[in-house]
Amino acid sequence: MTVSSENELVVITGASTGIGAATAREMAQRGFHVLAGVRRDRDADAIRAANVEPLILDITNSDQIRALASRVSEDPQRRPLRALVNNAAVQANVPIEVFGIEQWRDMFEVNLFGHVAVIQALLPTLIESGGRVVNISSVGGKIAMATYGPYAGTKFALEAMSDSLRREVAPHGVQVVVIEPGAVRTEMLGRAIANAHELLAAMTPEQRHRYGGLVHAVNAQAEASTKSGLPAEAAAAVIAKAITARKPRTRYTVGREAALLPVTRLLPDRLLDRIFAAALRPHLPKENARLDSAPTRR
């Protein structure tokens, strides 16, 4: 069974492209009025459509978050807030040693603290409407492969925050759902690869010697898996289910890789290290083909 979509609001952050944009279109087609958070005017123009109202929203900007909360609470049609979908994210696959501490802080600002700020701003309205919070995590919220440390760190934290929030607000009628996508074809991968190349160019010669082959292999592997991954619309359909199911699950996975997550929890860490290293081996430059001799971080 699903909840009614008549005269209800859905807020989606990070709706410029990819999963966020696809979810905005999906929910609009189902009759919800979507407040789609984007960062640029041209993105707003691109996504504006029937039942899709773009809002300029940088989730690290407190003034824009307050403006979003006011738009929701002062809705001219007094529509209840059905769901907040926290989708905004940034990614860079880079070794921990070479990712500057300020870059770590910036990634946590977007991938965790910004979501917390939006939740805090909209939670009173969600409690009033009996709505729900849908947090978009990742396979990286359960498994931290080599060079995924910063990104996975934010997603592990998002998963933990979601669990705690779910237990806090359930007595008040608010449901919290986590979505864990695997390989999905979105623009974020291209940005992550570009970021990795910039960081690689900024490494010292010693760091490039240590990590150059690894970064190349990880990016090649990610690009190959994403080409065969699901379209963003497939993820949007799962998110729509999480929003509309009368009794949603606490977690939904998207794609084959994510569906295998329970299996990985049964394996010893050292075995996972070897599995991940072996999976990277075909993508290594020839001069780095001995990567499997080094353990993969977890």
Structure token pair of residue 249: 């699950």
* Contacting residues for 233 by C-beta, under 8 A, at least 6 apart: 22, 26
For residues 188, 194, 199, 205, the Cα torsion angle rounded to the nearest 10 degrees is 140
For the chain, give me the number of helices (H) and strands (E)?
12, 9
Angle in degrees, 0-180, between the axes of helices 232-244 and 18-29, rounded to the nearest 10: 50
Beta strands per DSSP E along the chain: 9-12, 33-38, 52-56, 81-86, 132-136, 175-181, 184-185, 230-231, 251-254
Annotated active-site residue 151? The verdict is yes
CA atoms of 185 and 226, how far apart (whole Å): 5
Structure token pair of residue 139: 């396979």
Closest CA to 188 of 140, 239, 246: 140
Task: Given the residues 148, 151, 211, 252, select the one marked as catalytic.
Answer: 151
Distances (CA, A) of 86 to 56, 229, 258, 267, 297: 15, 22, 19, 31, 28
Could you list the active site residues? 151
